[in-house]
Amino acid sequence: MLVFQSFGAPELLIILAIVVVLFGATRIGDIGKGIGRGIREFRREVKEEQDDEKRAQDDKEPAVTDEKQR
């Protein structure tokens, strides 16, 4: 007894049709734009956090000059 089977093209089309009926085509576009903005903002914040951590780590490590290496 297989309870979970993978979705095929017909099933995905039926789901898409139901979503269009429930939300309407214009509303789906607005939802997509909002999700895209959210993802871009999230990525920007993650990148800024990584840059801040890298700067903090670079500040902790003493700079090695060529004279000290010789």
Does residue 11 lie in a domain region? no
Q: Is the pLDDT of residue 1 over 60?
A: no
pLDDT tens for 7-64 read: 788 888 999 899 888 888 888 888 889 999 999 999 999 999 999 888 888 887 665 5
40 domain residue, yes or no? yes
Cα–Cα distance measured from residue 52 to residue 56, given in angstroms and rounded to the nearest whole number: 6
Q: Are 15 and 23 in contact (CB under 8 A)?
A: no
The pLDDT, as a whole number, for residue 65 is 60
DSSP at 63:
P
Distance, in Å, from the CA atom of 68 to the CA atom of 26, rounded to the nearest integer, reads 65
Based on the structure, what is the number of domains in the chain? Answer: 1
Residue found by looking up tokens 């780590």 in the block: 57
Whole-number pLDDT of residue 6: 79
Are 50 and 57 in contact by the 8 Å Cβ rule? The answer is: no
Q: Is residue 9 part of a domain?
A: no
Domain that holds residue 31: 24-58
Residue 29 lies in a domain: yes
